[in-house]
Amino acid sequence: MSRPTSAIIDLQALRENFFLAQNLAPNAKSMPMVKANAYGHGMLEVANALADSAPAYGVACIEEALALRKANIKQPILLLEGPHSADEIGIAEQYGFWLMLENHNQLQAVLSAQLSSAITVWIKLDTGMHRLGFQPEDASYVYQQLSDSPNVAEDIVLATHFACADNLDNDFTRQQLCNFEVAINDIDQPNLLKSLANSAAILDWPEVKDDWQRPGYMLYGASPFSVPQENAEQLQQVMHFQSAVISTRSIKTGESVGYTANWTAQRNSTIATVAVGYGDGYPRHAPNGTPVLINGVKCPLVGKVSMDMITVDITDLNDEIKIGADVTLWGPELSVTEVAEYCGTIGYELLTRMPARVPRIYINAK
């Protein structure tokens, strides 16, 4: 029998989340973000599951785009960081990749490239996040340079990225939106194509649903918000990270568990050992008390997370827990967001750090 740790990936839940993104902005095109191995879910499997509906895909780098092409994904693929070297522009032409341009080096590389056909480019504008993007005052110049170039197709898209869209009480998103509108105001071109909405904006900023939206985290069933939100409540968690109990033992009051002996029993206790650890992507810094479901009941993590195992206090369970009992680390009944909050991080990190060691088991492929 193999080690019981695995990640069950529900592809129908994935599709339902994508349909929600589409329904919230029916006049926009929704481009699934499949970078970082589809947030840990398996880039090729996710792309194939959405192939009948997705008009294009978003990735971070050309290596990810090439992997999709090798897997026979036909849709356009947007390189969100643009070309990292001039030779990637020719590769983009060859394979039909789209390029997000965010600096003048990339701009000049595209303008001076020797191409036999035009490529599609997006222009990233820095409206306040100050991470990537042309300065707003350069928007008109950059757009004109690209629209005049035979290397560039006509359907140029202007894009930005929101820093605080997941905080509904923060007005910075509206400030960024205003900065974006001011930046593009001088571009002498009717019907500009725009892309502003990430997952949080799709779910709760209806004023930014333009021609292209970029659902990412929401596709995988996790809410980007720290408070309940009506649309996010409809999301279905795609990954069920599971394992099983491999050992149980009774310890006495005053005895400790695990490395560094950082948890000591305050009563006679029953401890279950579970076959999962930081080598499987479970966060090493998870503190005592982090919830774990055993046979569907929440129990507290106790003791340090090891490379291959965790220990859980099951003293209060009424049922006798036997070796082989089901364990959920996160999934539909225990959100990755809740686990992440205990660990002082975000669900994005827990999902994307899921290593190859953990088998992905795909269900509801069609």
| Helix, strand or coil, per DSSP, at residue 286 | coil
Q: Which helix H or strand E contains 121, and what residues bound it?
A: strand 121-124
**In angstroms, how far is CA 143 from the centroid of its own chain?**
30
Q: How far apart are CA 28 and CA 361, in angstroms?
A: 32
What tokens appear for 94 in the block? 């060859």
How many other CB atoms are there within 10 angstroms of residue 201's CB atom? 25
The residue among 134, 131, 133, 129 whose CA lies nearest residue 166 is 129
Q: How many residues does the chain have?
A: 366
| Helix, strand or coil, per DSSP, at residue 341 | helix
- Indicate if 259 belongs to the active site: yes
Catalytic residue selected from 35, 124, 194, 209: 35
Q: How far apart are CA 106 and CA 92, in angstroms?
A: 13
| Helix, strand or coil, per DSSP, at residue 203 | helix
Catalytic residue selected from 57, 217, 259, 304: 259
What tokens appear for 257 in the block? 């568990």
What tokens appear for 49 in the block? 């599951």
Provide the sign of the torsion angle of the four alpha carbons 183, 189, 191, 193, taken in this order: negative
- Indicate if 35 belongs to the active site: yes
Catalytic residues, by residue number, are 35, 259
